Chain A
């Protein structure tokens, strides 16, 4: 069964949507924003006034709040409140005396060498740089201001810089300003061949063919590059690359975890929904609304219902020890995931008590739970579909289907009840056997002898009824289901603050309310109509998040996009914009792009395009020792970053280079063949893992079935994320298991053979031609003579000393080519 999402806008219009009006926006913001204070880089880099939100608050939050913060105020002192810290303590000392760092107790304590006096008592002492920042801030008056992300988006004015031939986009002006302030300058532009490959891998996740790259490089100009970018942005493969990034964030998986790790039917349709949304450049506001309230929108469509699969992707224990606790674990999964995905706030930390660091109260947390309170549990053990499988077929078909399904369910229940009565009389080993795959056999052999005659007659007639109903069901045209909110609770129970997070210990009532720190207030929710299927609260939340006035939604998503183009976000902690998160390296760019996003009807491609066309993105990745010393983390973006391919980029690139890649889009997930030794880790080896044809297995990695208890080694070794929780950024490890898989796995053997076959087909048997072609395919540039010579020298050793035949020799060359660093990294 196939679900197609119509492109609701034609591609041409889309392109104009994200291309139009950029310049106008820059200029108008420029005019409007004359009074905005410039962002200055201080702290580690010296000069300028200390920025409380960026430089001081993080120190206080991380090092002081645990005992003197919003949650605990030991010695009556809380460093989130100015009045408290400048007041005299019982001892007479004042933690902070504005303008007098030398008499401030804080400075005395954090700089003391005496362990009994030094603060904080646990952990490392503050660094000299931190202490010096605190001193300067106190001497400047110790002013407090709100945390950067708890303030409305500013409209930063791109700085005007003398002798600036580099800036193409305001992004560049902001970057250049910070570089110049530190006496640095941006790296040279990357060479055409480097940039072409980088853009391909970043935008669509696949390398260009050498022919395409050569052709583009031959007529290299800004216009050529811009054309290339527009072409890539219109490529349907973009959806496949970027969907995977979103799937990380929303903890996408297709099974439930726990003992049975049962499948989530039609989870793949949610994955396809994301791919189609990104390809068609659906407005991000709409994308938010559909996922949070796709069943409550003015226009509900199969597509918007599929989006509600968002709620059904998490882990689910089909046999919880404490069902009420498990229910609230489900709500917690939703609040955590939604909070981190859309707002980059860790509301989950306020489940048991007020957030220790961020100004988020426990009441805020349960007010959010209240928004989601009509979301039913994923399923019940006796019915694993009812709550999560939504029919999107025409009504009359659905009704017939439901009637018959209900009928078969009730007959089955009755049959089972009678079976269980009989089973209870059987010997224990038989009883035990009926709980597993042996049930049928035991029933067939023994049921009759443990049933009374009457009972048996009734039992057999029920069996006949069941067969009839099932036959009728089979006659129906197929019903199309999606994974989502199939059932809601239109009048949800009252939500309470749960004391210490314990659902058996309810505290005061709460209703849906927006987090205080983001403005607070209660939503206007219409009381549900008599025939309502849901409570209408999620719509209110979705509208609030997806509003241009929301401070976080737009910043959070532009930061995520940035992250995949530079290897890290402007805010590194992409899921945590709170006080424990990182400060933005370039807050102006974050706010600038956030506004651009909203100004372009939430077109994500507008943001992609702005970044891709910037000089900043186009820089070379090479840097000097001097720069390394001045800015070892490249926070100032003096150059691009060498980035390892993600698991999917790597696997897909291999398939592209060997010529095996099957570009078929959408549909049910695929199952790469796993070795017996991998399957042996399961309690039922092979269970829940299907078989796909070789052609299917050669599809892009985003289509690989995600089974929580059975990670695919190739993906896992290259840091495929933990699926049970939102993943903001993948780890990038380098470890020998990767090398072993890349050299020895059956899959890599196949792929190197495929590459050898391909080049033999294309350039014939001459080894030198083969070497040249292989290198060209993996490096996407003219091969260096030395590289060719190295491969040829390998071939002669293999043939002469190891007596390998031509085919094995080519395959060995191919294996080398596919393992080159140059292939595994984006330069």
Chain B
């Protein structure tokens, strides 16, 4: 039966049946069947009766043939200025300092006029498509024929807190699952040794609202984002304390398993007890596999160089981009990388000096992102990996303060881009007005972006639903939302 037809029913009823099935908790049965694959329960009678269908993380067939298997979301936290990066505004040249009538809405509230800050970087045309790119991105400019630029993005809020939530979960209020949670809920995981939704943060800190940005909201925590460190032990509490070590831990686990198995013997029908035994073995396996996935010594020198891992400026983001590729290679569904963290100029939030800010962040990310696209392409992975770039909003054409080049937030129009995963490259969709203050041609909403992402992953954005609070909740909301058809 095609998955398409099952969705509605799945979301309405089966979720609760997961919860209560055979008195076993959600996910309990699940793990038993995950471990079955490894023959772990070969000698355990409990697993034989475990229904394999109820595994919430088992790979699930998509609604229709997917273009992409994974997504890498490069989150430019703080909001990069579109008119200084990819949205070329030749008409603004020579207008610096002029006061103009333009409606803006940002952190500083609604304004009707402002002092123009001319784009601070020169633009050039690149690729066969002739895309104009500013000199902030010399490396990425070489990849424009693989990229579809969305130059008419809009969002519901120009304020970081709610705008971040919107970009990550589709709503300006907290409490809903993140995109990565939806993807894992819809497709399951193909590698139980790694979390299906991985978040890598900037060394300066998390984004505002922290874990709210990768929360699984009203879905079980099994779908939430897991913060993965790019250096040291990658996951929280992954390794035993130094004085214990893995050999001792194995002894502890063996004893624990023996005792738990004996306890299980006369409770053979209790799958959740069996699942808990299994979860310890899975944890042990993760100790082995998770560090391997972040071990860059397995990469050759040319690759490290490509990503800029050996240059101070690009070292951190390069490392994380390379890890993103390695994680996707290992079946992780959704990887989110934050460029920028914390506050002020630690991220793209250029309220003060635009040039210092954007030179810094573009400088740290340009080469790594280009490397990621090239590396994915040469390995034949770009077709199945959807790469998304953008912040929670863009920036205004006018100055925020009486002096200086800082720009306030702008959710009326900004640029994001997508590449790989079946996205047609070399395209530019939509346009903002001559100042870049608002989308005027083919306005796109964050929901359209989300719909496109789900669509490429083989999930129908208007059907992928989860019953909660009396409603079939969807990432794209209650109204029908179209993916961006021109680019797929």
| Docked CA distance A744–B226 (Å) | 17
- Determine whether the beta carbon of B404 is less than 8 Å from that of A572: no
B451 CB, nearest partner CB in chain A, Å: 18
Minimum CB–CB distance from B404 to chain A (whole Å) comes to: 2
Is B405 a contact partner of A683 (Cβ separation < 8 A)?
Answer: no
CB of A660 closer than 8 Å to a CB of B: no
- Least distance between A141 CB and chain B CB atoms (Å): 28
Listed from nearest, the 10 A-B pairs whose CB atoms lie closest are A428-B404, A732-B25, A346-B470, A724-B175, A259-B161, A123-B8, A321-B157, A432-B352, A733-B27, A258-B161
- Is the C-beta of B92 less than 8 angstroms from some C-beta in chain A? no
Per-residue interface assignment for chain A, residues 213 to 225, with 1 indicating a CB less than 8 Å from any chain B CB and 0 otherwise: 0000000000000
List 7 additional contacts besides A124-B1, A124-B8, A431-B352; criterion CB under 8 Å. A317-B161, A433-B352, A642-B272, A732-B272, A790-B255, A794-B255, A821-B273
Is B206 positioned at the interface, with any CB of A under 8 Å from its CB?
Answer: yes
In the complex, the answer to whether A820 meets B351 with C-beta atoms within 8 Å is no
A717 close to chain B: CB less than 8 A: yes
Task: Specify which chain B residues have a CB less than 8 angstroms from the CB of A784 in the assembled complex.
Answer: 262
Chain A residue with minimal CB distance to B220? A731
Q: Which residue of B lies closest to A120 (CB)?
A: B8
Among A287-295, A370-378, A491-499, A707-715, the stretch that binds chain B is A707-715
Query: In the complex, A621→B270 CA distance in Å?
Result: 10
B85 CB within 8 Å of chain A: no
Chain A residues 724 to 745 lying within 8 A of chain B, measured CB to CB, are 724-726, 729, 731-741, 743-745
Say yes or no for B159: interface residue by CB 8 A criterion. yes
Q: Judging by beta carbons under 8 Å apart, are B174 and A745 in contact?
A: no
Binding site for B on A (CB under 8 A): 62, 122-124, 257-261, 315, 317, 319-322, 329, 336, 340, 346, 348-349, 352, 355, 357-358, 424-429, 431-433, 435-436, 567-568, 572-573, 575-576, 578, 580, 582, 621-623, 625, 628, 632-634, 641-644, 675, 677-678, 680-685, 708-711, 713, 716-717, 719, 722, 724-726, 729, 731-741, 743-746, 749, 784, 786-787, 790-791, 793-794, 797-798, 802, 804, 808, 812, 815-816, 819-822, 824-825
Enumerate chain A residues within 8 angstroms of B25, measured Cβ to Cβ.
644, 731-734
**Cβ–Cβ contact B283 & A743, under 8 A:** yes
Query: What is the chain A residue whose CB lies nearest that of B353?
Result: A429
A110-B208 Cα distance, complex, nearest whole Å: 51
Identify which of B7, B159, B269 contacts A628 (C-beta below 8 A): B269
- Contact A722-B5, Cβ < 8 Å, known A260-B161, A576-B470: no
- Rounded to whole angstroms, the CA-CA distance of A798 and B254 in the bound complex is 12
CB-contact partner of A633 in B23, B30, B215, under 8 A: B23
Q: Is B454 an interface residue (CB 8 A)?
A: no
A residues less than 8 Å from B27 (CB atoms): 731-735
Q: Given A321-B156, A622-B267, do A428 and B31 touch, yes or no (CB 8 Å)?
A: no
Interface residues as binary, B352-365 with A (CB distance below 8 Å gives 1, 0 otherwise): 11000000000000
B129 at the interface (CB under 8 A from A): no
B461-488, CB < 8 A from A:
467, 469-471, 478
Partner of B236 from the list A573, A737, A793 (CB cut-off 8 Å) is A737
A to B CB contacts below 8 Å, 9 in the list: A259-B161, A322-B157, A628-B269, A633-B23, A680-B201, A731-B19, A732-B25, A816-B259, A821-B264
Docked CA distance A582–B20 (Å): 12
Contacts of A797 in B (CB 8 A): 251
Given A682-B210, A722-B217, A794-B252, verify A802-B282 contact (CB < 8 Å). Answer: no
Q: Is the CB of B343 within 8 A of A683?
A: yes
Given A683-B341, A740-B286, A816-B255, A317 and B262 contact (CB-CB distance below 8 Å): no
CB pair A572–B16 under 8 Å, yes or no, is yes
Contact assessment for A427 and B403 in the assembled complex, using a CB-CB cutoff below 8 Å: yes
Let me know if B252 and A321 touch, CB within 8 A.
Answer: no
Interface residues of B in 230-265 (CB under 8 A from A): 235-241, 243-244, 247-249, 251-252, 254-256, 258-260, 262-264
- Residue of A621, A643, A743 most packed against chain B (CB within 10 A): A743
Across the interface, name the chain B residue whose C-beta is closest to A340.
B469
Chain B residues proximal to chain A, CB less than 8 Å: 1, 5-9, 12-13, 16-17, 19-23, 25-28, 30-31, 105, 107, 156-165, 172-175, 201, 205-212, 215-218, 220-222, 226-227, 229, 235-241, 243-244, 247-249, 251-252, 254-256, 258-260, 262-264, 266-267, 269-270, 272-273, 275-280, 282-283, 286, 341-344, 351-353, 399-406, 411, 467, 469-471, 478
B204 to chain A: closest residue by CB: A683
Distance of A261 Cα from B209 Cα, bound (Å): 7
Tell me how far the C-beta of A735 lies from the nearest C-beta in chain B, rounded to whole angstroms: 5
Question: From B226, which residue of chain A is reached at the shortest CB distance?
Answer: A737
How far, in Å, is B176 (CB) from chain A's closest CB? 8
Residue of B nearest to A567 (CB): B23
Q: Return chain A residues, CB-CB under 8 Å to B26.
A: 731-733
Report the minimum CB–CB distance from A353 to chain B (whole Å).
9
Q: How far is the CA of A246 from the CA of B112 in the complex (A)?
A: 49
Contact B212 A709, beta carbon cutoff 8 Å: yes
B243 & A315 in contact (Cβ 8 Å cutoff)? no
Whether A632 contacts B161 by the Cβ 8 Å rule is: no
Whole-angstrom distance between the Cβ of B465 and the nearest chain A Cβ: 11
CA gap between A430 and B38 in the complex, in Å: 60
The closest CB in chain A to the CB of B13 belongs to A62
Query: Given B174, B220, B279, which contacts A739 in the complex, CB threshold below 8 Å?
Result: B279
Closest beta carbon of chain A to B481's beta carbon, Å: 16
Which residue from A257, A682, A717, A726 sits with its C-beta under 8 Å from B221?
A717
- Residue of A259, A729, A786, A790 near B160 (CB, 8 A) is A259
Residue of B229, B352, B399 with highest tally of chain A CB at under 10 A: B352
Q: How far is the CB of B47 from chain A (nearest CB, A)?
A: 14
A101, chain B: closest CB distance, angstroms: 23
A632 touches B5 (CB 8 A): no
Say yes or no: B471 contacts A793, CB within 8 Å. Answer: no
- Determine if B23 and A642 form an interchain contact, defined as CB atoms under 8 angstroms apart: yes
User: Do the beta carbons of B19 and A734 come within 8 Å of each other?
Assistant: no
CA gap between A743 and B238 in the complex, in Å = 9
Q: Give the distance to chain B from A731, nearest Cβ to Cβ, in Å.
A: 4
From B211, B240, B276, give the contact of A734 (CB < 8 A). Answer: B276
User: Are A429 and B205 in contact, with the CB atoms below 8 A?
Assistant: no
Among the listed A348, A675, A681, A732, which residue makes an inter-chain contact with B211, where contact means beta carbons less than 8 Å apart?
Answer: A681
Do B206 and A681 touch across chains, with their CB atoms under 8 A apart?
yes
Determine whether the beta carbon of B201 is less than 8 Å from that of A681: yes
Minimum C-beta distance from A550 to chain B (A): 20
Is A815's CB under 8 angstroms from B162's CB? no
Contacts A257-B212, A724-B175; is A582 near B16 (CB within 8 Å)? Answer: yes
Is A725 a contact of B279 with CB atoms below 8 Å? no
Q: What's the minimum C-beta distance from A203 to chain B, rounded to whole angstroms?
A: 21
CB closest chain-A residue, reference B27:
A733
Bound Cα distance from A622 to B27, whole angstroms? 21
The smallest C-beta distance from A93 to any residue of chain B, in angstroms, reads 24
Find chain A residues with CB under 8 A from B174 CB: 257-258, 315, 708, 724
Closest chain B residue, CB of each to CB of A748? B237
Is there contact, CB below 8 Å, between A683 and B207?
Answer: yes
A633 CA to B280 CA, complexed, in Å: 26
Contact A685 B205, CB 8 Å, known A708-B212, A709-B212, A733-B26: yes
- Cα distance, A190 to B45, chains bound together (Å): 24
B9 and A816 contact, CB distance less than 8 A: no
Contact A734 B28 (CB under 8 A): yes
Do B208 and A259 touch across chains, with their CB atoms under 8 A apart?
yes
Residues in chain A near residue B236, CB distance under 8 A: 675, 677-678, 713, 737, 740-741
Min CB distance B37 to A, Å, is 15
A731 pairs with B209, CB closer than 8 A:
no
Closest to B216 in A: A722
Interface centre among A261, A643, A717 (most CB of B within 10 A): A261
Complex CA–CA separation, A355 to B163 (angstroms): 29
Contact A321 B264 (CB under 8 A): no
How long is the Cα–Cα vector from A195 to B226 in the complex, in angstroms?
A: 38
B210→A824 contact, CB < 8 A: no
Given A317-B162, A734-B279, A793-B255, answer yes or no on A632-B21 (Cβ-Cβ < 8 Å).
yes
Bound together, the chains give a CA A677 to CA B411 distance in angstroms of 32
Instruction: With A732-B272, A744-B241 as known contacts, state yes or no: A428 contacts B403, CB within 8 Å.
Output: yes
